[in-house]
Amino acid sequence: MPDRIRWWNACASLAAIIVVASHTGIAQSTTTPTPSNAGAAPQAGIVASNEDDDAVLRPLQPDFTLINLPTTLPLPTHKSNFRLTHRFNGNLRLGGFGTQAGNLFGLDEGATVGFEYRFAVAKHLELAAYRTTFNRSTQFYGKYDAFHQNARTPVGFSTILSVEGTNNFRGQYAPAIGASMSRDVANVTALYVVPMWVHNSAAATGVIRETVMVGLGASVRVRPTLFLVAEVTPRVGGYVGGDPEYGFGLSKRVGGHVFDLTFTNTTQGTTFAQMARGGFPNSLYLGFNLARKFF
């Protein structure tokens, strides 16, 4: 009963954050008419300001995730996105160059694969379903993009509510609540802070524990559509297992496609609960993400 009460209290807190954030975004988007436009009716299909248009290209945010961490990139209403994650199981830190070349740098060791589909059910509100082959973990989550960075707002802010379970969502349920905050700097770098609380983060041990983690990430544009990306997710409270999850790599945007070449210290850290459990010591794994926007 205490765990159930704690979970419902957390949900209530997130709902309050969303309400406050949405009212903040409305207040920030309100402008005072000038004499030139006073009394003029808005034309159909014309957006008064593209700062609140979810379809506007955001050059420093190519995708809805950095490597594993969620970003603040919005999805236009009734549009969707597909993402494939692929983490090869060969540890690049074991053996010498000859050994690694012999198994094609981990590609011969099999892989952990995940599929995600997200859909914007309303303005600023996305729902997503993600399944990974590790323990057949299935995650359902929602993201509300409360406001975006613009001339009046120094950061972008999104709230996240998630629940996942193993064996095709049949057990070891792990709810999570968090936020993603972003800041674009000098039209070159996007910085991210992703605080998150995860319940039942030690499910595999049979003991119910909780973890508070704060993901930190950055995306640096080196070419108009090419980015260096990196992230690390230290745990700051509760259950801590293994090393903090981290990753780095390259991200390339080609039209509606985004391809990420990744190096991470875990093959099993693509859901929020898996990230809370951390990465493997002395490990590095090759992988990639492939995403396709349908808008």
Question: What is the chain's pLDDT, residue by residue, as a tens digit (295 residues)?
Answer: 444 444 444 444 444 444 344 444 433 433 334 434 434 433 333 333 466 789 899 999 999 999 999 999 999 999 999 999 999 999 999 888 888 888 888 888 889 999 999 999 999 999 999 999 999 999 999 999 999 998 899 999 999 999 999 999 999 999 999 999 999 999 999 999 999 999 999 988 889 999 999 999 999 999 999 999 999 999 999 999 889 999 999 999 999 999 999 999 999 899 999 999 999 999 999 999 999 999 8
Contact 180, 70 (CB under 8 A): yes
- For residue 74, being part of any structural domain is answered with yes
- Compute φ and ψ for 15, nearest 5 degrees: -60, -40
d(CA 17, CA 180): 13
- For residue 30, being part of any structural domain is answered with no
- Give the domain extent around 235: 2-23+52-294
- For residue 175, being part of any structural domain is answered with yes
- For residue 65, being part of any structural domain is answered with yes
d(CA 4, CA 6): 5
Q: Which contiguous run of DSSP H or E holds residue 41? A: none
Torsion over CA of 49, 54, 59 and 61, rounded to 10 degrees?
140
The residues near 85 (Cβ < 8 Å, ≥ 6 apart) are 112, 113, 114, 115, 116, 132, 270, 287, 288, 289
d(CA 229, CA 66): 7
- For residue 35, being part of any structural domain is answered with no
User: pTM to 2 decimals?
Assistant: 0.81
Contact 267, 88 (CB under 8 A): yes
For the chain, what is the domain count?
1
- For residue 42, being part of any structural domain is answered with no
- For residue 32, being part of any structural domain is answered with no
- For residue 78, being part of any structural domain is answered with yes
* CATH number of the domain enclosing 144: 2.40.160.40
